[in-house]
Amino acid sequence: MSAKKSWDVERSARKVVSQTPPPARRENVRTPKAHKAAKPAKKVRPVVSSEPLKVRRARAKRIFLIGVSVLALLCVAGLFYVAWLPALRVQTVTAEGLNSEGTVAIAQQSLQGTHLFIVPRNSLFFVPESDMRKRILAEFPDIVAVSFKSSGLTGLHVVPVARTSAFVWCGVERVGSTDPCYAADPDGLIFAPYTSDVPMASSTLQLRMYAPIEGDMLAPVRAHIANTKNIPNTLQLARALKTLNANIAEVAFRGDEADLYTAGGTRITYIVGQEREAATLAASVFPTLSLNDGSVDYVDLRFESKVYLRKQGVGQ
């Protein structure tokens, strides 16, 4: 038997190794974690001050007052600065209407000086209107009111309002009176010598009145007519008689009686305070009379239910 050769050696069976597939590659994916449970908040103990509450309140009040005081001082300082600015001080004064020159002079005098040596009187914000108004009204009784308007930042315009005349006072007695007449307002104040320039309260009724006054007869301006409360009712009666064709031109008071004279000279007498009764009697008779031509001498309205009259040359 021939010797075995190298190529005759039986190959040993290979061990079959099972190849398993490599494990799948794990992706780096984060899974959401469960939220941790919230921890309970820790209790914070309030800090207790060792100072008493009364002391803390007093300190807070003191700080507040200091702040308010500082703010007030700043406001006052700003106000003083503005008050003394030349651009905000009255330099010129003008006026219109009645007594304009005298009104301007009084206003300029009132603007001189300072208020309590602190702020100027001619400051646009501290114009002494009350003082000027009082002085103007005291100086000119024919002015009943005064108003003021600013004219720019350095001008002041004064607007006086003239007092209107309701009637003309011509003395105490009508007979033989040669005294000058004065204008009087509805309240019985005599305020100026009567001229045609004095404005009238009514253009349809202008009466000449004779009555005693409360004041100096030699200087009646600013005086009041006695029994002023009776004047409005008398004026109202005169207007009522005018609607009955009796043009009343003059009124004369005699104690508790009054005489009303028409333009023709007819005298109408009644008791003061009984104007309504007198108007009722006049309405029943006057439409049948001619009272403005002088044909009737007088009419008596002093009785309750009867009118007495007398015509010229005839007694009735």
Q: Write the pLDDT tens digit of every residue in 292-313.
A: 998 999 999 999 889 999 987 6
pLDDT of 144 > 60? The answer is yes
Arithmetic mean of pLDDT, 194-220: 80
Q: Which residue has the higher pLDDT, 13 or 287?
A: 287
Query: What are the beta bridge partners of residue 120?
Result: 114
Q: What is the pTM of this model?
A: 0.68
The Cα 130–Cα 146 span in angstroms is 10
Arithmetic mean of pLDDT, 57-84: 84
Cβ-contact 160, 146 below 8 angstroms: yes
Give the pLDDT of residue 179: 72
Give the pLDDT of residue 211: 93
Q: What's the token pair of residue 26?
A: 């794990």
Q: Write the pLDDT tens digit of every residue in 152-192.
A: 889 999 999 999 998 999 998 887 666 789 999 988 999 99
Q: Which residue has the higher pLDDT, 126 or 80?
A: 126
- Indicate the helix (H) or strand (E) that contains 283: helix 275-285
Give the pLDDT of residue 44: 59
Percent of the chain with pLDDT over 70: 81
* Cα 274 versus chain centre, distance: 38
The Cα 294–Cα 225 span in angstroms is 29
Residue with tokens 């075995």: 4
Pairing of strands 155-162, 92-95: parallel
The full set of domains in the chain, from first to last, is 88-162 (3.10.20), 167-311 (3.40.50.11690)
